[in-house]
Homo-oligomer: A and B are copies of this chain.
Amino acid sequence: MLVHELVHGGHRIRVARDDLYPLAGGGNKGRKLERIFAELPAECQAIITTGSTQSNHARVCALLAAQRGIEAHLVLHGPSRELAAPEGNLLVALLAGANVQVVAADRIATTIDGIHRALQERGVVVRVIPGGGHCLAGGLAYADAVDELTVLPDVIVLASGTGATQAGLLAGLDRRQAETRVIGVSVARRQREGRPRVLESYRELRGHLGLASPERQVEFDDRWRFGGYGDTRPELLDTIVGVARTTGLVLDPTYTGKAFFALLGMLRSGEIARQASVLFWHTGGLLNALASADLKEAMKRV
């Protein structure tokens, strides 16, 4: 695990660089999906998965499927016009030869079912990979990532979406009997919907790993959603631009920008003590940052 230290706004912050995870475009989905693909049956010939049109998860699924020589079927939600002029993650997924359909969010499940049936009728061995890599194998990849840390911090802050990354870190820290606090900054869901999902993954991982230590509180903080998934605000975008200019660290508006904004807020307010050792877990997102029209606008403003 590559860890860099930076100073921003007078705060010394260590950064776990999963944005540089060695797979084209980087990010935490590489770490999760290499584990998930390793557990696919040898006879698997196709995978189906889902995400947004700028999904990092979908891009990595497409790359790993190409690498393995199997079909990737991506059922994506978002602006269907993106298919006409693809950028970022969507462009890489298409380059890697993925079959892409863009549908309304409420048609994802039936579309996946339809592709699944059609492939099975052709005799193709197919597996459905959960959106975001939200499954046991994905979480285990992050429990193991904790073992790569040479120094355990007081606090880890990260962007939390489906929550498997956060749950994996929690389970991995339990296994190391670490006291480290983990703050998942919600990028989409409200606490009442999101927290139970993280908790469920966390419990599944603890059961799988046979952990007997007391279960810890899951912190899933929904104060920095900025409206919801993919939504932005000027102050969020300005922070992303400011951080890039002063540190060279590229954050994205959908995931890591919100988490870093939250971290700065908690450091300012004292919710995270000044003397605490802080690790920001950078989960990636370079390619969706580059495809963000909001961020491009903000760059003109600053």
Q: Does A149 contact B (CB under 8 A)?
A: no
Kindly report which residue of chain B lies nearest to residue A2, judged by CB atoms: B22
How far does the Cβ of A300 sit from chain B's closest Cβ, in whole Å? 9
- The answer for the CA separation of A280 and B20 in the assembled complex, in Å, is 21
Interface centre among A2, A65, A94, A244 (most CB of B within 10 A): A244
Cβ B19 vs Cβ A95 within 8 A = no
Cβ B250 vs Cβ A95 within 8 A = yes
Q: Does A214 contact B (CB under 8 A)?
A: no
- If A87-B290, A290-B87, A296-B86 touch, does A95 touch B241 (CB 8 Å cutoff)? yes
Q: Does A96 contact B (CB under 8 A)?
A: yes
Q: Does A66 contact B (CB under 8 A)?
A: yes
Kindly report which residue of chain B lies nearest to residue A250, judged by CB atoms: B24
Size of interface on A: residues with Cβ below 8 Å to B = 43
Cβ A245 vs Cβ B96 within 8 A = yes
* Number of copies of this chain that the complex holds: 2
Cβ B66 vs Cβ A246 within 8 A = yes
Q: Does A141 contact B (CB under 8 A)?
A: no
Cβ A67 vs Cβ B247 within 8 A = yes
Q: Does A286 contact B (CB under 8 A)?
A: yes
1/0 contact string of A1-32 vs chain B (CB within 8 Å): 01000100000000001011011111000000
Q: Does A69 contact B (CB under 8 A)?
A: yes
Chain B residues contacting A290 (CB-CB under 8 Å) are: 87-88, 91-92, 287, 290
- A-B contact list, 20 entries, CB within 8 Å: A17-B22, A24-B26, A24-B248, A24-B250, A25-B286, A62-B248, A63-B248, A66-B244, A66-B246, A66-B247, A87-B290, A88-B290, A92-B250, A95-B245, A95-B295, A96-B244, A96-B245, A96-B248, A96-B250, A290-B290
